[in-house]
Structure 1
């Protein structure tokens, strides 16, 4: 299950594929300033039943950006473009964390034939509050400095904020985040995306309101998982999910932070797997 690079219209995109290629597709979408390693604890489990496609979203991790891929809609289109390059045209189940949750939600609106269900993990789009570390990227001059001059202390601080238990911010995760920041332009891309979706005051309302209105009008089966101790996007946003997407199920996990799939993978799988099984679109069904 090692990662590989594929060509997407002349650009390199990093993916990790697991499971039988004929099994129902499952797409895993990470958040801002992150990579497909955010799914490391659950890929093997999902691969027993699905064709798992985890990717560095174009512009993040080790993937080259797609043209104009700064807005949530453009990131959703770019992610679907990766599936096209892989020849995966079937309706897929999508799991998105943080910004990846907003990307998955946008994909369900813009490409309804490619998204059969959603699992959203602490997704962006449901509230204004967000960690000051993200808001700082939107500040002129300061944001550019932070993006272009990564230091281990700031990277470690963000990694520790991700988890309710800071000890889970392992040396491996910090080293990996530092490598991406030093070896690629992902830091600058993250700054540009952050400035698009947020400001120093928090997550911008206009794009959130538009996306949620579109998603409510074009619902797909959805389960939302939120950590009660999320310090990136607070669990208070979970109440907005119920108001904006009344068709969605919402589960708040006590004692858990921003990445339930890494922090408590067994508990996360106990929620996600039954939902995915119940909403799975098989290849035979999709061919009808």
Structure 2
């Protein structure tokens, strides 16, 4: 996952804060408040009647992955993005558990502690698998669900995704580290952008330099490879689970209105899984962005924001119709 979007190193006015829970410390990123009509409203920007939203990144990503999208939604939702344990600026969990189930439990614990639920839950890649589990286990916490290239079981995976899956094998991960020891940060960044973007040329020179700097910082963290290996192993294990704990079964249990966004040039999550996902998530809306890769919210944030707004509008229309119908029935009674 690229650590930052095309030219995004953290949008102006963003704030970050630490949230401490038993055994966890999470970094939470919030975009600048939307423009207000007058100074009094600007002074009270922290107090908002906008519905809350929470964004969850993928393997190797961070809350920065949402810096391009969140400001585009700021007039409709009060969005936050978290760094999952071991990624971004969040330290590893005390128990060393990086499974998809543990990541979902982290999101649930954060939402319960913050008292922000129900929220509009948005996830990309690994984050899509995580929030699917959250929506299935705790429907009371989820207003809507938006999944961007979610990492749902695809067996066998497409060939271009195999190297990522192999990170789950410790011996292979160590071999990869030795083979790439001489790679420059620029080489590492180009390889990852080529894997994740439909068109890496969309990344600005400033964005590329910011990504290089972020990779240098991350590779200096003593737990970087451990977090990558154990999280990749957690994804592979989640793919092999059957029965009620399988991710596809979890998808069938989701009650929240769901938006599915897939990229036509995604090299990590095959576009062929889109229709299966649309069938699994009842009443879902499926959108394909033909030129997008694995991180559509970073490549085409305006398009993703437009589809998310349509999801909100459709929910509002359905809710309004239900309220109108209930009022009419009461009047007839």
TM-score range, shorter chain: 0.7 to 0.9
Query: 1:68: how far off?
Result: 5.2
Matching residue within 26, 30, 35 for 1:17: 30
Query: 1:21: how far off?
Result: 4.7
Structure 1 range deviating more: 76-85 or 251-260: 76-85
Structure 1 range deviating more: 222-231 or 47-56: 47-56
Q: Which runs of 5+ in 1 are unaligned?
A: none
Query: 1:207: how far off?
Result: 5.7
Aligned residues: 278
Matches of 1:126 and 1:204, distance apart in 2: 5
Distance 1:64 1:219, change over 3 A: same
Structure 1 range deviating more: 62-71 or 29-38: 62-71
Q: Is 1:166 matched with 2:200? A: yes
TM-score (norm 1): 0.86
Q: Is the 8 A contact 1:30 1:56 kept in 2?
A: yes
Matching residue within 162, 185, 192 for 1:132: 162
Q: Is the 8 A contact 2:28 2:80 kept in 1?
A: yes
Structure 1 range deviating more: 187-196 or 203-212: 203-212
Distance 1:88 1:277, change over 3 A: farther
Distance 1:250 1:147, change over 3 A: farther
Query: 1:198: how far off?
Result: 2.0
Q: Is 1:195 matched with 2:195? A: no
Query: 1:122: how far off?
Result: 0.4
After superposition, the C-alpha distances for 1:46-79 in whole angstroms (9 at most, x for unaligned) are 2222221101012222212333532212111112
Matches of 2:57 and 2:177, distance apart in 1: 19
Structure 1 range deviating more: 107-116 or 13-22: 13-22
Which residue in the other structure is 1:32 paired with? 59
Query: 1:138: how far off?
Result: 2.1
Distance 1:97 1:122, change over 3 A: same
Which residue in the other structure is 1:100 paired with? 127
Which residue in the other structure is 2:248 paired with? 212
Q: Is the 8 A contact 2:92 2:223 kept in 1?
A: no
Query: 1:109: how far off?
Result: 1.2
Matches of 1:211 and 1:95, distance apart in 2: 17
Q: Which runs of 5+ in 2 are unaligned?
A: 1-13, 34-45, 324-333
Query: 1:26: how far off?
Result: 0.3
Q: Is 1:110 matched with 2:123? A: no
Distance 1:254 1:25, change over 3 A: same
Q: Is 1:244 matched with 2:257? A: no
Matches of 1:88 and 1:145, distance apart in 2: 44
TM-score (norm 2): 0.75
Matches of 2:99 and 2:139, distance apart in 1: 18
Query: 1:263: how far off?
Result: 0.5
Q: Is the 8 A contact 1:43 1:52 kept in 2?
A: yes
Matches of 2:222 and 2:148, distance apart in 1: 26
Structure 1 range deviating more: 237-246 or 251-260: 237-246
Q: Is the 8 A contact 1:27 1:94 kept in 2?
A: yes
Which residue in the other structure is 1:78 paired with? 106
SS at match of 1:138: coil
Matches of 2:306 and 2:153, distance apart in 1: 24
